[in-house]
């Protein structure tokens, strides 16, 4: 694996580190994963990760009804 040097604003770095920590990963691992998902989207791993994350959320849509317009609203 190659090493790279990356210049980044200090505030963004601190926010990124905090976010990575909240996701139980290193900042380096998070950046690597984001680049991989962006540069190689055909691998599809991001979709599995998304569904795994959705499965861990403590939310429910029970008794919720949405209209088609609400579902497709941007």
Contact 16, 30 (CB under 8 A): yes
Closest by CA to 26, choosing from 37, 38, 13, 36, is: 13
- pLDDT digit string (tens) for 37-52? 788 766 667 777 888 8
Alpha-helical regions (H) of the chain: 10-22, 27-39, 45-56, 68-71
Contacts of 62 (CB under 8 A, 6+ apart): none
Contacts of 45 (CB under 8 A, 6+ apart): 36, 37
Q: Which residue has the higher pLDDT, 45 or 36?
A: 36
Mean of pLDDT values over 15-38: 91
What pLDDT sits at residue 71?
A: 83
What pLDDT sits at residue 46?
A: 72
Contact 18, 28 (CB under 8 A): no
């Amino acid at each position: 694996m190659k090493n790279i040097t990356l210049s980044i604003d200090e505030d963004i770095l601190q926010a990124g580190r905090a976010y990575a920590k909240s996701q139980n990963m290193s900042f380096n691992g998070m950046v690597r994963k984001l680049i991989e998902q962006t540069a190689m989207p055909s691998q599809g791993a991001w979709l599995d990760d998304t569904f795994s994350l959705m499965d861990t959320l403590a939310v429910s849509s029970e008794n919720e009804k949405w209209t088609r317009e609400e579902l497709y609203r941007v």
